[in-house]
Amino acid sequence: MSAVESTVSGAGRRRFLKGSAAAAGSLVVSFHIPFVRDAEAQGVAAAPEVNAWVVVQPDDTVIIRIARSEMGQGSLTGLAQLCAEELECNWAKVRTEYPTPGQNLARNRVWGNFSTGGSRGIRESNEYVRKGGATARMMLLQAAADEWKVPVAECTVADSVITHAGSQRTTSYGKVAAAASKLTAPTEVKLKDPKDWKLIGKRLARLDTVDKTTGKLVYGMDLKMPGMVNAAIRRCEVFGGKLKSYDEKVALKRKGVKKVLKVGDDAVAVVADTWWRAKTALDAMPIEWDLGPNAKASTASFAEVLKEGLSAKEAVVGNQSGDAAAAIAAAPRKVEAVYTYPHQNHACMEVMNATARWTPERCEVWTPTQNGEAAHAATAEAAGLPPAQCEVYKLHLGGGFGRRGAVHDWVRQAVEIAKQMPGTPVKLIWSREEDMAHGSYHPITHCKMTAGLDNDGNVTAFAMRISGQSILAGVAPQAIQNGKDPVVFQGLNPPGPESSLGYAFPAVMIDHAMRNPHVPPGFWRGVNLNHNAIYMECFIDEIAHETKQDPLALRRKLLANAPKYLAVLNAVADKAGYGTPAPAGVYRGLAVTHGFGSYVAACAEISVSADGALKIHRIVAATDPGYAVNPQQIEAQIEGSFVYGLGAALFQECTVKDGKIEQTNFHNYRPLRMAEMPVVEPIVMPSGGFWGGVGEPTIAVAAPAVLNAIFAATGKRIRNLPVGDQSLKKA
Amino acid sequence: MAKLNVNGKSHEYQADPGTPLLWVLREQLGMTGTKYGCGVAQCGACTVHIDGVATRSCVVPAETVKAGSKITTIEGLSPNGGHPLQKAWVALDVPQCGFCQSGMIMAAAALLKSKPNPTDADINAGITNICRCGTYNRVRAAIKVAAGGGDAKTAGLSIQHADGSLT
């Protein structure tokens, strides 16, 4: 058995990747269609599927099909738990595989949506995934009952072993799977009561860990195929610019270089035997660009546009109650502040890459993607072929964070290159510099907030104007309705189950003046909740300070009728010891919000040295996701989202000069590192009754909790992100 | 043909002068466990050992590695993923996306050779690799578990494994 075939979680991969000892131990990928030839490869009879979600092999190995992508967030394991919970199979023999988008299309979307973003993987699909497991269980039991000629109601199952107590007979899923696969699926399926769950809620180990510790897991970048060539690409660094000319002779005379190809109207690729040769030839090749209309744009010019939006007459309302403007006008006192949030790149550890093979009849793509169906659509469009003649094979992602879901620019490029070399598999890998120059950036916004106060310091009205980019306007303009991008208001919506403002103000006006500078915005882990929670939670702190109230007491007062917000807030305050003395020199800050269906809060403990150096010591973080499928993985997501969120809050900004992004690599786009990582104490507190996401919500409370603690320590209110080189020396 | 000693075996390869060791490993020798992350020695995803020293292979021209030098990659760290760090990594479910983890483990292995019982400060100084998913705290815990003899229960994560064991 080859290295790849031993992949613990890689049953799906096994079906289209064949390990090979040839070519100095390199990996060779076959072009077979998944599901069919794994059995051929292993010389065993192919196991028929019980239903779309479940395949049981004769040795009782259960393969659970996972439609959503695994990018580190752990939902591959969580989704398998959901299916296995109802299936009643032996967890130790569970494997997973990805169905392909092409099969989903051919089978009338039997696996539903493949999109893996917005922390939706589990919360949106849990019901039909559990039903998939329950249906398969019923069919397997029926097959055993039929064989024994006993009523199915007399049969029970545990850990893949079916028992008929009356006749003391047992069999196993593997033995009856072939018969079960021929049965008609039941239409009436009853799911377990949550109190009877055995796997959901357990702190189970992930299914995909081992090969990530040995280097065996094959990422998109690692693919190797017979006859494959490698491509490096450069797209005009100014968004909207075009390719004017290039001197291909310079590249073509270098060793190993096979082709220099125009890609679309704004990029050029060098194709060579190795990627290193392709990349260095591209670096050496003179290229001229038509920089287009954005050649003079800069971060400063964007700021002017956004600043104007803060006082513009036209704006789209997201949350309104009462007459906030009148109440503020009549208020004896006001608190007012303006905040800003920058462009940021996702900077996934694995840069964008895809391998494509095009013939006039068929186009296939292998790529890490958060949305196999969108990658499939992009493939078909770029290939100029009907979707039925295209296929996409997903690989585990080396990070996603939203970059690999909405737009598949790198897939289109790979297909456009492959189309110019029919029959030859081409692996396109972006350099880190290309990845930094062509992100799908966290949108920029400015935000002006005003609170009207009465003579006792009570808030009488709250007004919030957001000015800035709309992600949907960039990636899905058809989703904009009457000028409104609903995603803009994450965490600020009227009361409801999704991303709502918890604070009860007598009057509220929250609106958005859409301003879309040319740098393309995208969904960036936490999306608009990130900056909205910073704005809201820091401003609540400002109100508390102005009215001489404790920030926790003020939040409790305003959240008196929002018990789920209060519960997470109180949990972090209690565990952190808020209200009791902190260690000398250590200060605390709080934040609470609601996003992606979950309630989250954080309490940060920080210190600032005399020369202004920040140290984040500890963060206590609570999340109520309704149901917690795998608490130890939720804890990992909480910790991880703080790394992502704190790196962004402290260091990260993509600035624009002459129309292009100035940051090029990790030396000038700095992530958080080990030495800066605080202790994180996660509290997972599922209250039941709803399904919230976990990959993103907690990122939103990381920054405001720390910023509020910085204010407590120094009296300095950081209103422009990132903290960067703003002085934190005590005022 | 030039030669490199990788994971105890001598390999012949052909590459243009200046080709980084990383790309010789990945493209000439077919060892893709070592990753490209930045190309400028910032992220550490490409970390290998050269004569036991953790080295960012993306900035080391292959021809500058002496023929007698011993290179160890993630594929050669242990025969079957049995290095104490790999065991601790599995016990604590350290990886998320996993892409940086080869380099992270190689950096940690070099750290433990020079500091068998590293302090938090030693870990901070020795592990400067970038992880975007944010596994740092479990990386730290796993290094301590490995250094402390391998009892993963000391990390207090309470993870239930498929074989029924609990760590």
Checking if the pLDDT of B36 tops 70, the result is: yes
Shared-domain flag, residues A182 and A227: no
Cβ–Cβ < 8 Å for A94, A10: no
Domain containing residue B18: CATH number:
3.10.20.30
Ramachandran quadrant class, A88 (left: phi over 0; alpha: psi -120 to 50; beta: rest)? left
> Contact B27/A276, CB-based, under 8 Å?
yes
Together in a domain, A391 and A275: yes
The confidence score (pLDDT) of residue A604 equals 98
**Do B54 and B110 share a domain, yes or no?**
no
pLDDT for res B67: 85
**DSSP code string of B37-49:** S-SSSSS-TTEEE
Same domain, B57 and B7: yes
CB contacts, 8 Å: B30 with chain A: 23-27, 224
Identify the band that residue A10 occupies on the pLDDT scale cut at 50, 70 and 90.
Answer: very low
Residue A29 belongs to some domain of the structure: no
Q: Which of B76, B93, B110 is at the close of a domain?
A: B76
Residues A255 and A303 in one domain: no
* Residue found by looking up tokens 């994180």 in the block: A680
Express each pLDDT in B72-125 by its tens digit. 999 999 999 999 999 999 999 999 999 999 999 999 999 999 999 999 999 999
- In A, minimum Cα distance to B140 occurs at A674
B12 located within any domain:
yes
Whether A14 maps to a domain, the answer reads no
**A438-489 pLDDT tens trace:** 999 999 999 999 999 999 999 999 999 999 999 999 999 999 999 999 999 9
Picking from A276, A283, A668 by the largest number of B CB atoms within 10 A of its own CB, the best residue to mutate is: A276
Question: Are B162 and A92 within 8 A, CB to CB?
Answer: yes
Whole-number Å distance between alpha carbons of A633 and A342? 30
Tell me which residue range forms the domain holding B101.
84-155
Cα distances (Å, whole numbers) of residue A502 to A540, A564, A566, A620, B54: 12, 9, 9, 20, 50
Same domain, B132 and B89: yes
**Same domain for B28 and B92:** no
Distance CA(A400)–CA(A380), nearest Å, equals: 22
Q: Are residues A528 and A656 in the same domain?
A: yes
Subunit contact A640:B133, Cβ cutoff 8 A: yes
Q: What is the DSSP string of A192-241?
A: PPGGG-SSTT--BPPSS-GGGTTT-S--GGG---TT-EEEEEEE-SSTT-
Q: Do A169 and A243 sit in the same domain of this protein?
A: no
Closest Cα partner for A340 from A128, A497, A535, A487?
Answer: A535
Whether residues B109 and B134 share a domain: the answer is yes
Q: How far apart are CA A601 and CA A638, in angstroms?
A: 11
- Burial track A299-335 (b if 16+ CB lie within 10 A, e otherwise): beebbebbeebbeeeebbebbebeebeebbeebeeeb
Nearest C-alpha neighbor of B91 from the set B27, B144, B25, B36: B144
CB contact under 8 A, B131 and A643: yes
Residue A4 lies in a domain: no
Is the ipTM, as predicted for this complex, more than 0.90?
yes
DSSP H helical segments within chain B, as ranges? 21-23, 84-91, 101-114, 120-126, 136-147
Segment A91-117 shows an average pLDDT of 97
Is residue B137 scored above 60 in pLDDT? yes
Asked whether residue A501 is assigned to any structural domain, the reply reads yes
Q: Is the pLDDT of residue A171 over 50?
A: yes
Please check whether residues A192 and A255 belong to one and the same domain. Answer: no
List the domain range (segments joined by +) for residue A401.
220-293+352-429
- Say what the pLDDT of residue A7 is: 30
Q: Label residue A151 exposed, middle or buried (CB < 10 Å: 0-12, 13-18, 19+).
A: exposed
Q: Which residues pair with A341 in a beta bridge?
A: A445
Q: CA A663 to CA A488: how far, in whole Å?
A: 26
Q: Is A312 helix (H, G, I), strand (E, B) or coil?
A: coil
Q: Domain boundary at A169, A195, A212, which? A: A212
Selected for mutation to probe chain A from B80, B133, B139, B161 (highest A CB count within 10 Å) is B133
Q: Which of A39-53, A647-661, A703-717, B113-127 has the lowest mean pLDDT?
A: A39-53
A445 and A386 in a single domain? The answer is no
Q: Are residues A384 and A528 in the same domain?
A: no
Q: Is residue B167 part of a domain?
A: no
Whether A16 maps to a domain, the answer reads no
Question: Is the same domain home to B47 and B11?
Answer: yes
Q: Does B149 share its domain with B127?
A: yes
Asked which of B48, B76, B104 is the last residue of a domain, the reply is B76
Q: Residues of B1-38 as b/e, b for ≥16 C-beta within 10 angstroms?
A: ebebbbbeeebebebbeebbbbbbbbbbbbbbbbbbbb
> A602-632: buried (b, 16+ CB within 10 Å) or exposed (e) per residue?
bbbbbbbeeeeebebbbbbbbbbbbbbbbbb
Q: What is the mean pLDDT of residues A67-74?
A: 98
Are A479 and A559 members of one domain? Answer: yes
Number of domains in chain B: 2
pLDDT value of position A421 = 98
Q: What is the Cα B26 distance to its own chain's centre?
A: 15
Whether the full predicted model's pTM is greater than 0.90, yes or no, is: yes
Does residue A98 sit within a domain? yes
Residue A337 neighbours by CB under 8 Å, 6+ apart: A448, A449, A538, A539, A542, A717, A719
CB within 8 Å of chain B, chain A residues 323-382: 347-351
Domain membership flag for residue A492: yes
Quick one: A604 and A478 in the same domain? yes
Q: Last residue of a domain, which of B31, B48, B76?
A: B76
Residues A123 and A203 in one domain: yes
Q: What is the CATH number of the domain that holds A673?
A: 3.30.365.10
> Which one, of A675, A584, A578, lies nearest residue A622 by Cα?
A578
**What are the pLDDT digits (tens) for A345-365?**
999 999 999 999 999 999 999
Q: Give CB contacts under 8 A, 24+ apart, made by A311-317.
A: A311/A448, A311/A465, A312/A467, A312/A513, A314/A513, A315/A465, A315/A511, A315/A512, A315/A513, A316/A482, A316/A483, A316/A484, A316/A485, A316/A511, A316/A512, A316/A513, A316/A514, A317/A509, A317/A510, A317/A511
CB contact under 8 A, B133 and A643: yes
Q: Does B69 lie in the same domain as B26?
A: yes
On whether residue B29 sits in a domain, the answer given is yes
**Number of separate domains in chain A:** 3
- Backbone φ and ψ for A539, nearest 5 degrees, come out as -70, -40
Tell if the CB–CB gap between B164 and A636 is shorter than 8 Å.
Answer: no
Q: How far is B116 from chain A (nearest CA, A)?
A: 19
Least confident of A19-28, A122-131, A196-205, A370-379: A19-28
Helix (H), strand (E) at residue A633: helix A631-650
CB contacts of B36 in chain A (<8 Å) are 221, 351, 429
Q: Are residues B100 and B58 in the same domain?
A: no
A556 at B interface, C-beta within 8 A: no
Count CB-CB contacts under 10 A for residue A636. 29
Is the same domain home to A235 and A190? no
Domain final residue, candidates A175, A191, A212: A212
CB neighbours (10 Å) of residue A293? 12
